[in-house]
Structure 1
Amino acid sequence: MVIKVGDKLPNAIVYEKSPKNQLNIADVFIGRRGVLFAVPGAFTPGCRFKHLPGYVKDYNAIKAKGIDIIACVAVNDPFVMDAFGKDGGADGKIRMLADPDCSFTKSIGMDIEMSKAMGGCRSKRYSMLIEDGIVKHINVEPDGFSITCSTSTEILSKI
């Protein structure tokens, strides 16, 4: 099933900072307005130099529109996601969530097989506006990887 507007975020375990810090991603957005965006892989050029930096740059503008939480998710381990966030200036602004076994990503139908290029299951690039756990808007890159409709600028225009 591919998640769509009006759907509830599924119950799925993700990790923040370490394997000891498990979170149910659905619970992260309950009672909050939030933005969730996904990158195919931490430290890949587009993710590192364009996608994450846009959200860091636009953090204050997004928050000013009443967004309580901004989170980035990727099929990486929690240590890599933590380092990626620190490297990108997201620390204290954007929650860096790891989906190491691709279970959350698969549960929303955003998985893409990348065995040859990136070692296995990865996430398509997307952004979502979420209110109280319900998807209100979603932008999925048509090819899964480009950085056009899933940018911070695009999600800002939908809030």
Structure 2
Amino acid sequence: MIERGNPVPSVGIKLVTAAGVEDTMSDAALGQGTIVLFSVPGAFTPTCHVNHLPGFVANAAKLRAAGVDRIVCAATNDHHVMKAWGEAAGALDEIDFLADGNGALAEAMGIAKDLSGAGMGKRFARAAMIIRDGVVDAVFVEDAPGVTASGAPAILMALEAAA
């Protein structure tokens, strides 16, 4: 699993922003400034849609006030789904979305989770990271269902403790 001090792996991804969709590499997309990256098992899935993403949208201003330059949500979905999810959630003005359709970044980071039993294949585990200039500063992976360690309030607390 990716740890503090590790660089962001370089994997091809699609970055979905309010400006559109861009083919890029993960290390380029996550390489400048202070970034909070949170990963979810799937767009529109109940916990991701109702509990995880909304917390980051609601706390975007507080995260920025704590020094975060960008908030990025990653999922093992295609860019069409990620764009539709960002639009449906009203989140594209606050959050960028990283589409890791084949799960290559999830695997490279060591936070892939096999959800084949639920018919979802390999996905990102529910997690969050603080990344500073392309290097992981902190990693928070959920060890049980729900959103606690990787939610916006926990990330805010970690940022405040590090200040």
TM-score by length of 2: 0.91
CA offsets per residue over residues 10-35 of structure 1, 9 Å max, x none?
A: 101111249x7212111122231110
Distance in 1 between residues matched to 2:68 and 2:143, nearest whole Å: 26
5+ residue gaps, structure 1: none
- Asked if structure 1 preserves the Cα contact closer than 8 Å seen for 2:74 and 2:97, the reply is yes
Give the equivalent residue in structure 1 for 2:143.
Answer: 142
SS, match of residue 16 in structure 1: strand
Q: Which amino acid aligns with 1:152?
A: A
2 CA distance for matches of 1:72 and 1:23? 15
State the SS of the aligned residue for 1:85. helix
Q: 1:16, 1:82 within 8 Å by CA — same for their partners in 2?
A: no
**Aligned 1:97-136 pairs, distance under 5 A:** 97-136=98-137
Report the equivalent of 1:91: 92
What residue ranges of structure 2 are gaps of 5+ in the alignment?
none
SS at match of 1:90: coil
Aligned residues: 156
Which residue of 2 is the match for residue 52 of structure 1? 53
Asked if structure 2 preserves the Cα contact closer than 8 Å seen for 1:126 and 1:140, the reply is: yes
Q: Does 1:39 align with 2:40?
A: yes
Question: What residue is the counterpart of 1:23 in the other structure?
Answer: 24
Alignment of 1:153 onto 2:153: yes
* Equivalent position amino acid for 2:4 in 1: V
> After the TM superposition, which parts of structure 1 deviate over 2 Å for at least 4 consecutive aligned residues?
none
* Structure 1 vs Structure 2 CA RMSD: 1.4
Does 2:7 align with 1:8?
yes
